[in-house]
Each structure stands twice: as structure tokens, then as C-alpha cells.
């Protein structure tokens, strides 16, 4: 029998692969300016520190690190992560589970909870990578209306009553792709609605430490009394995405199901990369490292905003207080998906906004990342986009 | 609403967690002799070499290693792994995908292929970790009869005709848990049956390099003409399980689906651990390292076999030519599951054989691992088991 006749699983019927992962391959082209991806700046990646730490931990605890570990996590990291996460979230935590990036945390949460057809409520637009995850679990992904301050609480309650969702997925701080932050007064109501109706909140918060203005807001998790909120954390944006270490924090009953799921996903996250993160936390290297990253990212953000101010009338865009992304809405007649090829040919790449909408559309939108380009590259890349817009507007 | 009311996904209805992972926690107890797990010996873990390599690769290629990588794998490893795998399998390979342990390779293959109710044929007994994986995809796990030389080809064809399986899962070399090896004359027929009926063969072969007697046999993959065989490889037993690097090799169409599945599982395997494996391959460190491991493991195996020869009449056991496990069948009135608590209390742990059977039963069987204990520990641990058997036989 020919392999063409092989039937793949139904979960792939509506999934063809992440648009970002495909665009990502373009980034590797020499000279390409990338406003796509959510990559840290090269200068933000602590290679020398990691080299020293990797050597030290393998010399000191190599026999444990190289052996099978517990699915529940590398013991020293469990300790340092617990303290770190309680500080970060401003609340006591029952249980923390290190994961292979926070991507795996979302995957495990879906594995634990989602049957085909179950509803997951999402922001509109939302992170496309996790939408792919939801679709591979054959979830019914339903968007909820937002404004400048994040999800609208009355619309959320309506959607919960109507759809009986299993999960509400939210990125409350410097949202991907919009850069918007859920305002303080909407955080407690979300935790309360979750408990009232029995909805698990996946609070995905990888950007919270990258704040360039304003003050930190309480986590949704800090208002959680019954255990319905699961916090997804990441070290990808503040240490390194390439080492794949994230975590989930929440009720031990939910995390136990995720742990059993993880046993057959990858047994455990690499002990070596867990040990590296442990040393960053234990040696308290993060605060100074984050201060230094934020200083450059702020300059990059300001440069991109200044460039956007010169874009044609009818262009609107967000003014994020942190994170990695600006969300741009071009005049309605422009199509960011169509313009992408021309931009790539001239040396700049971004992600068309349509990919971030559960129901598509919104062809005049795009997501711009500023963390992975120097100030010079931002000037140059934005000039190219402006030029392509001008030609498309003729 | 109380969290007790939360409904988990149906895929967990018949899965309560890996028995091995629970037993594994016992191993950590100080002084415990472990014949459970499939852990390499402490002395087999190359901590000093890894410490130096980790430092070197982060100094030389740290900015790439710490950045997001491609789901398809870290470029240098893709190159060295391709050559390595072609040498190991004795055939040309179209495509190789690094994974977060070969556990993830099995998970991705199920993700790509299995709808609830689909049949997976397995050896009887088979590796319980991957049975848990299959059950979480709600596969119908159907055992096929084996003899001393592995799966019986006529029984396999009968089972294929009767059950229309999606996957045949086999561990051809030094099988887990039995230590048996699929004989040379059954390998080509399996590849041919797969192509005749359209069944994907998952050839899981993590122990092939740990051979202490006899000569290497051709892989099933080497007889594969149409692409129906997917090879699952691992570096857990020959470098380190704690770094979580395995791979799958096979037809690019199947591996493409697995790659899309991996995008939302963990985006990519840690670049750092991929770079470490790459250096082992590039610097050709494996042959000598494997020779040294095999020399000690052979002594440990022989010691355990000599101890088994003193077990009561009616005890039978396998005589593996390699790998990590001996399979023991005690006289029928004995129950290895029942005896386990007493053994643990006296300081030795193993895995009861019943866990490895898709349909349970076989309470008089157990799996013994010899790689993770010294010769002294093997003498001592086996004496305890012999004593507990004697008491239970009274």
C-alpha cells in the first residue's frame, strides 16, 4: 500500500502548521530585519553566564542532572521556583510544575481538560501558537470582545453563560499580539466569574517582567480562592527561549492531571536546563538582567512608535507599557497578508494580524515585534513597510 | 463552584499515572537498591565531558543556542544525527526529527495518527510508559503473541487482518521488559506486512547499542521500501536520560505531521541539549563510551543471572544478549505485586510484571534492571528477593 493512503488523525483536519513557525524560517535569511517572532534581542541572551552556570552545575550535580529526574521537576528548581513564583504573583501557591516552555504548560492543560468540541474562550485577537494547540485538542475556540483595557467583563459573562466553556485563555499583561494590558479592576471579576461558573482560567503571563512604564498589576491568580486559575509562566523572554523552561502554578489536583499527562509527553523537562534556571533564581541574577533588557527594549519600542507616527493617516496602533509587540491597524483598504511578500523581498518580515483571530478576517492588521531588532534596523525596516504601504495605496 | 466539580478530559478515564514513575520515587530513598527503572549506572553518566561540552558550545554558539530554534531541530545536530542514524540503521534516511526524548517521538506519532478507538498492536508484555501514551490517545491497545524470538509473524498477520491497526509498536532489540530480541528472519516480514496492509510500524530501539554478546541485527527500517516504518531512537541509555534528547527517522510526510504536532507540544527540543548530543556525535565520543558502559553492564547482567540460577525451582528467566532488563517468571503461586511492599521495606525495588501486559494478569512475573546497581548491590538485592520468595512460598 502506498503511504499516500495513510489516514492521519482528525485533530489535524483544520491544522496546517503555525504561520509564525513558517514565517520564522524567513528570519534566518541573512540580512532579514525581523519584526516577526517574539525573539529576545541577541544582546539579551546571557551566553557567557549560561556557559559558566552549565559547567558549574554539571560539575557539582552532574550525576543527578544527567540521570532520569522526576516528572514533578528538578528538586532544587522546585524550591527556588516556588519562592520566585509566589513573589511574582503576590500570593501563596500550592503547587508549581516546571514545563518544557510555557507552550507545554498550555498543551498539558488542554490534555487534562479538553474533549473534542469543548469551548475555550479567548481574547480576540490572541496568540496563534496556543490557538493551534487548542485546535489540535479539537476545542471550539470562541473569541470574547475586548476594548483597550482587555476583556469586557459583561461580554465574558454572557459568553460563559452561552457556551459553558472549559477554559478561559487570557494573556493579561502586554498581550500577544496587541500589547494591551488587562486593567486592574477587571482582574478580580475574572477570578470571581471563573469560580461562579466553574471555568478554568489559563493566565498566560510571559511578558509581565518586561515593563517599561507604569506599575505592575496584581495577577488574576492572586484573586483566586477556589483554585480555578492556573498561571502559566515562562523564562523564554527573560533568560532564554532556546533552553525551553516554563512552569505552571495552581491547584495540586489540576497539576496532578497535567503531571500524569507530562509523563507520556516527555517524562520530564531537561534537568540541565532546569538547573540553569535554578541558578539564575538562586544567585538572584534576574533583577539586574531584566533591568538591562528593559532599558534597551524601551528604546526600541519608542523608536518603532516614532516611526509609526509617520505612517499614513488612518493608521492606528497600540502604545504598550511593556512586552514585545505593537499592534497596527492600517487603513481598511490595505491587506497586510498581501503586502508581506513584497516586504520580505525588500528585507523585512512581520506577522499579518489575520492569523491571530479565531475567525480570520481583519486583513488590514499586523503585529510588529521590536525586541529582536536594533534601533537602526527598526528605522530601516519601518521605512520599507511605509514604502510598501505607499505603493499599495496608489 | 468547588474545584471537585471540575470534569477532566475523557482520555484520563482509564489512566491513573505510570506505575514506574510512582515506583521511581522509591528509588530516591537513601540506601534503596533499585532493580526498577531503566536508569543508566551513575558511572555511565559522562558528567565531566558534558560540563566541558556545555561550556564550549555556549561560548561558541550561545547566541543561537539560547534563541528560539526551529521545530525541525538544531541545524548542526540535524547534520550529525542524519549521518549517525544512517550508520546505525544501515539504510538511507529521508528525514530525521530530534525530539524531547524518544518518549516524545511516540507521543507525536500517536498525535499524528491516532483517533479514539484506533487499534495499536503491541508485544505482550510491552513498555508500560508507552502504553500510557497510547491510552491517553484513547487507542485500543491489542497484544500480539510472541515467543523467544519476538512477535510471531503469522499471529501478527492474523491480528492485522482482524483489527485493522493504525500502528504496530515493537521494541525489537533487548525488548523492554523481556530483554528478548526479534530474530533476523522476522524483521523483513514485518516491514513487508506493514506495506501490504498499510500499518505504520513504530520501531522503538533505544537499547540496540548496549550489546554484550552476539552480533547486531538489521533494523526493520532497513527493509522499509514504502515509508511505513518510523524508527524511534534515544540517547538516554548511551549518553544521558536527564538531557531528554531522542529522535525519530522516517518518511518526511509522516514526520511533517509530527513536526506540526511538536510546534504546540514544546515548540522545539532544548537547543542546548541538542548541541551536547551533536558534540558527542561530531567528536566521535560514543564508540569508546559505549564500549566502557557495555563492559560493566555485562558484568552486572552476569551477576544477576548467576543469582537467578539460585532461585527456587520453577523460576524461569530470559538470558538477554544486551539491554537493561531480565524478565523473570516465578512459580505460579507467587505474586510479585504483593511481594513488592516487603521487598521495598527490606531495601530493594523492582517493577511487577503485570503492569507491562495490556490486559493485566501474569502476577508471577517481574522485570529486573541490572544497569543501575553495582555487583555488590545486585548480590545483596537478589538475596533479599530470594528470601521474600522463600517466605511467601511457605
In the block, cell 513557525 appears at A21
Nearest residue on chain A to B264, alpha-carbon basis = A133
Contact present, B330 and B389 (Cβ < 8 Å): yes
Using CB atoms, pick whichever of B51, B259, B270 lies closest to residue A243. Answer: B270
Nearest residue on chain B to A193, alpha-carbon basis = B1
**How many angstroms away from the CA of B355 is the closest CA of chain A?**
15
Inter-chain touch A67–B6, beta carbons under 8 Å: no
pLDDT for residue B20 is more than 90: no
In the block, cell 491517553 appears at B136
Mean pLDDT of the region B336-343:
95
Task: Please spell the DSSP secondary structure of A184-249, one letter per residue.
Answer: GGGHHHHHHHHHHHT-EEEEE-TTTT-BSSS-----SGGG-SSS-EEEEEESTTTT-STT--EEEE
Kindly provide the b/e burial profile for residues B356-379, where b requires at least 16 CB atoms within 10 angstroms of the residue's own CB.
Answer: bbbeeebbbbbbbbbbbbbeebbe
Inter-chain touch B47–A67, beta carbons under 8 Å: no
> From CA B190, how far away is CA A328, in angstroms rounded?
56
Print pLDDT tens along chain A (394 aa).
999 999 999 999 988 776 666 777 777 788 999 999 899 999 999 999 999 999 999 999 999 999 999 999 999 999 999 999 999 999 999 999 999 999 999 999 999 999 999 999 999 999 999 999 999 999 999 999 999 999 999 999 999 999 999 999 999 999 999 999 999 999 999 999 999 999 999 999 999 999 999 999 999 999 999 999 999 999 999 999 999 999 999 999 999 999 999 999 999 999 999 999 999 999 999 999 999 999 999 999 999 999 999 999 999 999 999 999 999 999 999 999 999 999 999 999 999 999 999 999 999 999 999 999 999 999 999 999 999 999 998 8
Inter-chain touch A264–B63, beta carbons under 8 Å: no
% residues pLDDT > 90 (chain B): 95
In the block, cell 521556583 appears at A81
- ipTM of this predicted complex? 0.97
Using CB atoms, pick whichever of B39, B253, B276 lies closest to residue A3. Answer: B253
User: Within an 8 Å CB–CB cutoff, is residue A41 touching chain B?
Assistant: no
Contact present, B204 and B127 (Cβ < 8 Å): yes
Contacts of B59 in chain A (CB under 8 A): 47-48, 51
User: Within an 8 Å CB–CB cutoff, is residue A16 touching chain B?
Assistant: yes
Inter-chain touch B45–A54, beta carbons under 8 Å: no
pLDDT, tens digit, 9 for 90 and up, residues B132-154: 999 999 999 999 999 999 999 99
Inter-chain touch B272–A242, beta carbons under 8 Å: yes
pLDDT at B21: 67
pLDDT at B18: 67
**From its phi and psi, is residue A381 left (phi > 0), alpha (psi between -120 and 50) or beta?**
alpha
How many cross-chain Cβ pairs, A to B, lie less than 8 Å apart? Answer: 293
Using CB atoms, pick whichever of A59, A107, A198 lies closest to residue B264. Answer: A107
CA distance from start to end of chain B:
54
User: Within an 8 Å CB–CB cutoff, is residue A2 touching chain B?
Assistant: yes
> From CA A301, how far away is CA A171, in angstroms rounded?
20
> From CA A8, how far away is CA B353, in angstroms rounded?
33
Contact present, B195 and B226 (Cβ < 8 Å): yes
**How many angstroms away from the CA of B60 is the closest CA of chain A?**
9
pLDDT for residue B25 is more than 80: no
Using CB atoms, pick whichever of B6, B9, B66 lies closest to residue A111. Answer: B9
Contacts of A206 in chain B (CB under 8 A): none
Inter-chain touch B51–A54, beta carbons under 8 Å: yes
Inter-chain touch B266–A195, beta carbons under 8 Å: no
Q: With a CB-CB cutoff of 8 Å, which residues 52-91 of chain B face chain A? A: 52, 54-55, 58-59, 62-71
Inter-chain touch B115–A10, beta carbons under 8 Å: yes
Inter-chain touch B18–A198, beta carbons under 8 Å: no
**How many angstroms away from the CA of B265 is the closest CA of chain A?**
5
Contacts of B243 in chain A (CB under 8 A): 66, 270-272
**How many angstroms away from the CA of A19 is the closest CA of chain B?**
11
Inter-chain touch A68–B197, beta carbons under 8 Å: no
> From CA B14, how far away is CA B138, in angstroms rounded?
9
Strands of chain B (E only): list them: 33-34, 95-99, 119-123, 140-144, 146-147, 150-151, 167-170, 200-204, 229-234, 246-250, 316-317, 325-329, 348-349, 351-352, 365-369
User: Within an 8 Å CB–CB cutoff, is residue A130 touching chain B?
Assistant: yes
In the block, cell 534516511 appears at B93
pLDDT for residue B381 is more than 80: yes
**How many angstroms away from the CA of B146 is the closest CA of chain A?**
25
User: Within an 8 Å CB–CB cutoff, is residue A24 touching chain B?
Assistant: yes
Q: How distant, in Å, are the alpha carbons of A219, A245, A269, B363, B391 from that of A170?
A: 12, 20, 24, 48, 59
Strands of chain A (E only): list them: 33-34, 95-99, 119-123, 140-144, 146-147, 150-151, 167-170, 200-204, 229-234, 246-250, 316-317, 325-329, 348-349, 351-352, 365-369
From A39, A127, A26, select the one nearest A353 (Cα to Cα): A127
Q: Hey, is A258 helix, strand or coil?
A: helix
Would you give the DSSP letter of residue B28?
Answer: T
Contact present, A85 and A235 (Cβ < 8 Å): no
Q: How distant, in Å, are the alpha carbons of A385, B88, B333 from that of A351?
A: 12, 41, 66
Using CB atoms, pick whichever of A50, A67, A266 lies closest to residue B62. Answer: A50
Inter-chain touch A267–B71, beta carbons under 8 Å: no
> From CA A59, how far away is CA A107, in angstroms rounded?
33
**How many angstroms away from the CA of B224 is the closest CA of chain A?**
12
Burial category of B299 from C-beta neighbours within 10 Å (exposed 0-12, middle 13-18, buried 19 and up) = middle
Contacts of A235 in chain B (CB under 8 A): none
C-alpha cell at B147: 515467543
C-alpha cell at A369: 515585534
Residues 6 or more apart in contact with residue B77 via CB below 8 angstroms: B98, B274, B275, B277, B278, B281
Q: What is the CA radius of gyration of chain B?
A: 21
Contacts of A52 in chain B (CB under 8 A): 55
C-alpha cell at A35: 519584526
Inter-chain touch B51–A68, beta carbons under 8 Å: no
Amino acid at each position: 500500500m502506498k503511504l499516500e493512503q495513510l489516514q492521519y488523525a482528525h485533530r489535524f483536519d483544520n491544522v496546517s502548521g503555525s504561520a509564525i513557525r513558517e514565517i520564522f524560517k524567513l528570519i534566518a535569511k541573512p540580512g532579514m530585519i525581523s519584526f516577526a517572532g517574539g525573539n529576545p534581542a541577541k544582546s539579551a541572551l546571557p551566553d557567557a553566564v549560561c556557559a559558566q552556570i552549565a559547567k558549574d552545575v554539571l560539575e557539582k550535580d552532574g550525576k543527578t542532572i544527567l540521570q532520569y529526574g522526576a516528572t514533578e521537576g528538578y528538586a532544587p528548581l522546585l524550591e527556588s521556583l516556588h519562592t520566585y513564583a509566589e513573589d511574582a504573583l503576590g500570593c501563596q501557591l500550592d503547587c508549581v510544575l516546571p514545563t518544557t516552555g510555557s507552550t507545554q504548560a498550555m498543551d498539558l492543560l488542554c490534555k487534562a481538560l479538553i474533549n473534542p468540541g469543548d469551548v475555550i474562550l479567548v481574547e480576540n485577537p490572541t496568540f496563534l501558537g496556543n490557538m493551534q494547540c487548542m485546535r489540535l485538542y479539537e476545542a471550539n475556540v470562541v473569541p470574547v470582545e475586548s476594548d483597550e483595557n482587555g476583556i469586557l467583563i459583561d461580554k465574558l459573562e454572557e459568553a460563559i453563560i452561552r457556551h459553558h466553556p472549559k477554559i478561559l485563555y487570557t494573556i493579561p499583561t502586554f498581550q500577544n499580539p496587541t500589547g494591551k494590558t488587562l486593567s486592574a479592576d477587571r482582574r478580580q471579576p475574572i477570578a470571581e466569574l471563573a469560580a461562579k461558573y466553574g471555568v478554568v482560567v489559563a493566565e498566560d503571563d510571559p511578558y509581565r517582567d518586561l515593563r517599561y512604564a507604569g506599575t505592575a498589576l496584581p495577577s488574576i491568580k492572586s484573586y483566586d480562592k477556589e483554585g480555578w486559575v492556573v498561571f502559566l509562566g515562562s523564562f523564554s523572554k527573560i533568560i532564554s527561549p532556546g533552553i525551553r523552561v516554563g512552569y505552571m502554578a495552581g491547584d495540586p489536583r489540576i497539576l496532578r492531571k497535567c503531571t500524569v499527562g507530562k509523563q507520556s509527553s516527555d517524562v520530564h523537562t531537561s534537568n540541565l536546563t532546569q538547573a540553569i534556571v535554578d541558578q539564575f533564581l538562586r544567585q538572584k541574577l534576574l533583577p539586574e538582567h531584566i533591568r538591562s533588557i528593559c532599558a534597551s527594549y524601551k528604546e526600541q519600542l519608542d523608536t518603532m512608535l516614532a516611526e509609526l507616527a509617520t505612517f499614513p493617516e488612518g493608521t492606528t496602533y497600540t502604545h504598550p507599557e511593556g512586552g514585545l509587540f505593537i499592534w497596527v491597524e492600517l487603513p481598511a483598504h490595505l491587506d497586510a497578508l498581501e503586502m508581506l511578500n513584497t516586504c520580505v523581498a525588500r528585507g523585512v518580515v512581520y506577522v499579518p494580524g489575520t492569523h491571530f483571530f479565531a475567525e480570520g478576517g481583519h486583513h488590514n492588521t499586523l503585529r510588529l515585534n521590536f525586541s529582536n531588532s536594533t534601533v537602526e534596523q527598526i528605522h530601516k525596516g519601518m521605512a520599507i513597510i511605509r514604502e510598501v504601504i505607499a505603493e499599495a495605496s496608489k
